[in-house]
Structure 1
Amino acid sequence: MTSKFDVLKKSRILTLKVIEGLTVKQLNIIPKGFNNNIAWNIGHLVVTQQLLCYKLSGLECNVSDEMIANFGKGSAPSYTVSEEEFNTFKKLLVELPILLEEDYTKGIFKNYADYTTSVNITLTNIEEAISFNNYHEGIHLGIILQLKKLV
């Protein structure tokens, strides 16, 4: 499992490097042909990892219900994310994978509600959730790279 946590942490550091130097205005631009922006994608990565790993394990998420509503699956940007809020997203992007690894090591993930993803992969345990989340993060890094070219 150590390698799966390493992939998550390193991919998030790479994601932050990719968006380094962009303004809050750029982070909130929704280019023609897209239905979201970089700020939404970053919030979505934070929320999805929490839902896949904690909520489906019957545990409390480490993000607010409001954040889940605004950045969860099926949502779209509904407001302009402020610089302060985006800084919180960046902090969560780095800190939550560390917490996930600590919680996994403590053995708190005892239950898991089976969940079939939008790409028809059924997750049945925390290990599968962590692996799938890494795949999901890669998809959104690709989207962020596309968006960056257009903002």
Structure 2
Amino acid sequence: MSELLLKNMELTRGFFLKNIAALNEEIADVQPAGFNNTIRWHIGHVLTTAEQFMFGYPKQSTALPSNYMELFATGTKPSDWQGDVPSVSELTEQLQGQLKRMKEIPVESFKEKLEKPFLGQETFGELSNFSLFHESIHLGQLQAMNRIIEFSKSK
């Protein structure tokens, strides 16, 4: 089961990175009507949330800058951003590095019980699987936004 989870991490993140690589970076900060955020926000949100779920950011992990919570946590929005905001290429590099660290997690740790259940997840493996589910949802948002923006530009 744990090996399958690690393969799914690589698969899901691979698709996410492939979609980012295919983006026209000029549209990363366009917020189409009907959407709460931008493509860049979704990329940073996936990175930040995965770091929280997998590594205990910001208390236990210092792999990401501390201001990422203010930029990309649930409930944040680009219209409130102040100060330095990472580029899409910087976020992409961090996603790649995060995947490497995720693949180094010992498989036996996925069986560990969480101190208290979180979002119905009781083990670290279940939480890791939820993180992939979350990433897939945002991949769909990224794809939909990209299509809408590109379509509206062609009119």
TM-score range, shorter chain: 0.7 to 0.9
| Deviation, structure 1 residue 10 | 1.9
| 8 Å contact from structure 2 (residues 10, 99) kept in 1 | yes
- Letter of the 2:122 partner, please give it: T
Residue 59 in structure 1 maps to residue 57 in structure 2? no
Give, in whole Å, the separation in 1 of the partners of 2:73 and 2:143: 20
Which stretches in structure 2 are left out of the alignment for 5+ residues? 150-155
Structure-to-structure mapping, 1:1-151, within 5 angstroms = 1-55=2-56, 59-77=60-78, 78-79=80-81, 85-105=87-107, 112-117=114-119, 122-151=120-149
Query: 1:113, CA displacement in angstroms?
Result: 3.9
Q: Give 1:115 deviation, angstroms.
A: 4.7
- The CA RMSD measured in Å over matched residues stands at 2.9
After TM superposition, give the deviation of residue 32 of structure 1 in Å.
0.4
SS at match of 1:39: helix
Is the Cα–Cα contact under 8 Å of residues 5 and 97 in structure 1 kept in the other structure? no
Matched position secondary structure for 2:60: coil
1:61 Cα deviation from its structure 2 partner? 4.5
How far does the alpha carbon of each residue in 1:88-128 deviate from its partner, in whole angstroms, 9 at most, with x for none? 11011122122022133595x967343543xxxx2222111
Aligned residues of 2:6 and 2:103 also touching (Cα < 8 A): yes
> In the TM superposition, what is the alpha-carbon distance from 1:66 to its structure 2 partner?
0.4
Identity fraction in percent? 20
> Conserved in 1, the CA contact under 8 Å of 2:112 and 2:125?
no
Structure-1 separation of matches of 2:126 and 2:91: 25
Normalised to the residue count of structure 1, the TM-score between the two structures is 0.80
Could you tell me how far apart the structure 1 residues matched to 2:27 and 2:75 are? Answer: 22
Q: 1:85 offset after TM fit, Å?
A: 2.4
1:46-94 CA-to-partner distances (Å, cap 9, x unmatched) read 10111112228x7324212201221112212234998962211101112
Cα pair distance change 1:53/1:113, threshold 3 Å: farther
SS where residue 103 of structure 1 aligns?
coil
Does the CA-based 8 Å contact 1:27-1:37 persist in structure 2? yes
Residues 46 and 84 (structure 1), Cα distance of their counterparts in 2 relative to 1, 3 Å cut: closer
Alpha-carbon distance in structure 2 between the residues aligned to 1:11 and 1:75: 24
TM-score by length of 2: 0.78
Between Structure 1 and Structure 2, how many residues are aligned?
Answer: 146
